[in-house]
Structure 1
Amino acid sequence: MALVQAGVVVLDCAEPEKLAAFYKELLDAEETDTSANRVEIKGAADTRMAFRRDVNATPPSWPRPEHSLQVHLDFLVEDLDEAERKVVGLGGRPVDIKEPAGPFEERGYADPAGHSFTLRRVRPTAPKQG
């Protein structure tokens, strides 16, 4: 067993219950632990996230330079358009990152508390037939 193991990604925010609900729906996750100042969820493949109350939390303004990028999450999806509709329907918003295209199709977003994340299309494992 490794001396140090990856634990939980924790996002600071003013309203952990609301942010947990956003990611719980987005990731089809379940709530695993709740206290007055923290909510934790677990999704597929035991992916865990927690949301900690910080009444002074300042949302990052990325890609604008006013506040540095505090955290960035990448999520893999098969259908970018369908995933985008879900993000926006849950209260997230698209972020124009204006970066050159890379080897992956991806789109940037902000969650309802302002944390940035990317939806990245999973590459098909086999070439298209026909």
Structure 2
Amino acid sequence: MAERVVGGCKCGHVRYEGTRHSAATFRCHCRDCQKLTGSGHSEMLPLEIDTFSISETCKVFEMQGGSGQPTYSGFCPNCGSQLTRRSTRMSDRVYVHASSLDDPAHYAPEKSIYTDAAQPWDTDGIIKPS
């Protein structure tokens, strides 16, 4: 049975739900994630785009990703919580920030990406390839 995932922002204004995608969960150290989250990295969980729904009140910020193609970051316009990331390169999924899950204890990162951009004070949590 597919794992159903539910979450939302800090103030409760934006809610989402979807089914877990088979792609790996990851810890992203890219500069975009650092700036968007205000921390050293983001924790991302993939959901199937065709099962994903989110409140219409979610705002989306479009930017250019490292590939040169557009990426989209969804956030609450009320409290500012970062909720989603998606890209045109991986159109079958949307990534949600693990901290926005109703039960983030179910999240476990499987790999780290963009580790070359990791800040020196945020390297202890880098997951080494096996």
TM-score (normalizing by structure 2): 0.32
Structure (1 or 2) with the greater strand fraction: 2
Q: More relative contact order in 1 or in 2 (CA 8 Å, sep 6+)?
A: 2
Higher-Rg structure is 1
